[in-house]
Amino acid sequence: MKIKILGSGQEVGRSAILLEDKKNVMLDYGVKIEPSPPKYPHHEKAHAAIMSHAHLDHIGALPLLCKKSKTHIFMNDVTLELGAMLIKDSIKVGRIEGYGTPFSEKDLKKTIKMTNIVGYHEKFRIGEYKFSLWPSGHIPGSSSILAEGDKKIFYTSDIQTTDSHLLKRCQLPQNVDTLIIESTYGMKNHQPRTQLEKTLIETVEEALAKDEIALIPVFAIGRAQEIIMILEKYSSRIALDGMAKLASEIIEEYSYYLNDAKKFKNILKKVNFVRTHDDRKKAISRHSILVSSAGMLGGGPAVSYLRDIKERKESKVIFCGFLIEDTPGRNLIQTKIFKNAEEEFNVHCDLHQLELSAHTDRRGLFEIIKRTNPKQVICVHGDSCKQFAKDVEEHFGVQAFAPKNDEVVKI
């Protein structure tokens, strides 16, 4: 078998990994959404495609794959529902922004019809291999993918080795031949989770004590729900806006993926949903905590809220995860200037970035390698894949690769 990296090679995002065998199988087919316009992986025909989770950088190009060839699609139920929601929105955003998308809503509908729903640990055969999805602890429904045949291949996709309020940690197989591992935080360890959560709460409370606003830009799926669970005691003061609203409602329907479904449902009853334009205009005066997409300020209501509070020095803007280079969020943290294609303005608020990430850190990645005991490691989805692969070789004494996009690794 050969493994061809079509996306996520020495980059974060645009995940697309092709297992080349008698029947080619695509693991994820995503888009690099930031900075805009989006960038898509190179196209290769595949007999089947398996989607790990619903974030656009892993599933956002799937209709393009289905549009050009008849491909059998496999994923779990909540990934299909959330993924369809985000892809449909990306088509709308592309139309509004003028760069379009290389597929239509008709292509999305075709993709949905071609999808086979599979649950965790449910084995399904494609060619000479049996595949199964394993909980990865990243977002609701997120999966790692195990392929078993002549070789045993495990693709982590985005993965988390610790429990969160929202989800239980990942599950891992033992003794694999090839491990394809994400490397987002391959060179960095997170602060203790409890300390980060304490800092988030304290930062929000500082704003509340001065009758100011705490704006928390979030990824609609996963991060939004985790944040409102951390801020449970302030649920009634939270306004939830943007795609995070619909994502939360969908996740509530598939609550069997959650760590504490009852707690999540109770919090949603108390949170204030911003459903209309009029609600949005009143949100700042009515609610102190604004949790809104988009997480890197690439769009969404969070940008509108930022514009409204930009002169308020005691208000807080709190990022809670990874900020890709050249995104408005990353640039704002570095320069205190918000800039996108339409506008530019100074922001005088108190800015914070906390790594409350749904990705595991360097320690967690090393733990995954130790527990899966691979014969070779392929490092993808990171800004420092080459250095991380070198460190893996030195620490574990196994072959480690950091292929660029379109490069092939033989196994």
- The answer to whether residues 313 and 381 belong to one domain is no
Per-residue confidence at 69, pLDDT binned at 50, 70, 90?
Answer: confident
Q: Determine contact, residues 40/29, Cβ cutoff 8 Å.
A: no
- The answer to whether residues 62 and 78 belong to one domain is yes
Per-residue confidence at 43, pLDDT binned at 50, 70, 90?
Answer: confident
- The answer to whether residues 153 and 173 belong to one domain is yes
6-24 core/surface letters (b: 16 or more CB in 10 A; e: else): bbbbbbbbbbbbbbebeeb
Per-residue confidence at 57, pLDDT binned at 50, 70, 90?
Answer: very high
Per-residue confidence at 324, pLDDT binned at 50, 70, 90?
Answer: confident
Section 246-273 average pLDDT? 97
**What is the rounded distance in angstroms from the CA atom of residue 162 to the CA atom of residue 301?**
31
DSSP annotation of 239 reads: E
Residue 220: its pLDDT value, please? 95
Q: Which of 334, 353, 372 is the last residue of a domain?
A: 353
Per-residue confidence at 322, pLDDT binned at 50, 70, 90?
Answer: confident
Of residues 70 and 316, the one with the higher pLDDT is 316
Residue 182: its pLDDT value, please? 98
Section 319-342 average pLDDT? 92
Q: At residue 11, does pLDDT exceed 80?
A: yes
Per-residue confidence at 323, pLDDT binned at 50, 70, 90?
Answer: confident
Provide the CATH number for the domain around residue 147: 3.60.15.10
- The answer to whether residues 30 and 127 belong to one domain is yes
Q: At residue 321, does pLDDT exceed 90?
A: no
Q: At residue 35, does pLDDT exceed 80?
A: no
Range of the domain at 127: 2-188+358-410
- What residues contact 371, with CB distance under 8 A and at least 6 apart? 172, 174
- The answer to whether residues 226 and 122 belong to one domain is no
Structure tokens at 90: 């990306």
DSSP annotation of 70 reads: -
Residue 110: its pLDDT value, please? 95
- The answer to whether residues 85 and 102 belong to one domain is yes
Q: Determine contact, residues 147/345, Cβ cutoff 8 Å.
A: no
> Percent of the chain having pLDDT more than 90?
91
- The answer to whether residues 161 and 247 belong to one domain is no
Residue 42: its pLDDT value, please? 87
Q: At what angle do helices 223-230 and 193-209 cross, to 10 degrees?
A: 70
**What is the rounded distance in angstroms from the CA atom of residue 52 to the CA atom of residue 204?**
33
**CB neighbourhood size of 269 (10 A):** 9
* Strands of the sheet with 16-20, listed across from one edge: 115-117, 72-75, 48-50, 25-29, 16-20, 2-7, 408-410
Per-residue confidence at 231, pLDDT binned at 50, 70, 90?
Answer: very high
- The answer to whether residues 345 and 378 belong to one domain is no
Summarize pLDDT for 100-155 with one digit per residue, the tens: 999 999 999 999 999 999 999 999 999 999 999 999 999 999 999 999 999 999 99
Summarize pLDDT for 363-380 with one digit per residue, the tens: 999 999 999 999 999 999
Q: Report the Cα–Cα distance between both ends of the chain, in Å, rounded.
A: 6
**Closest-CA residue to 274 (of 303, 252, 230, 244):** 244
- The answer to whether residues 129 and 244 belong to one domain is no
Residue 89: its pLDDT value, please? 95
Q: At residue 266, does pLDDT exceed 80?
A: yes
Number of domains making up the chain = 2
- The answer to whether residues 246 and 380 belong to one domain is no
Task: State the chain's mean pLDDT as an integer.
Answer: 96
Q: At residue 284, does pLDDT exceed 90?
A: yes
* pTM of the full structure: 0.95
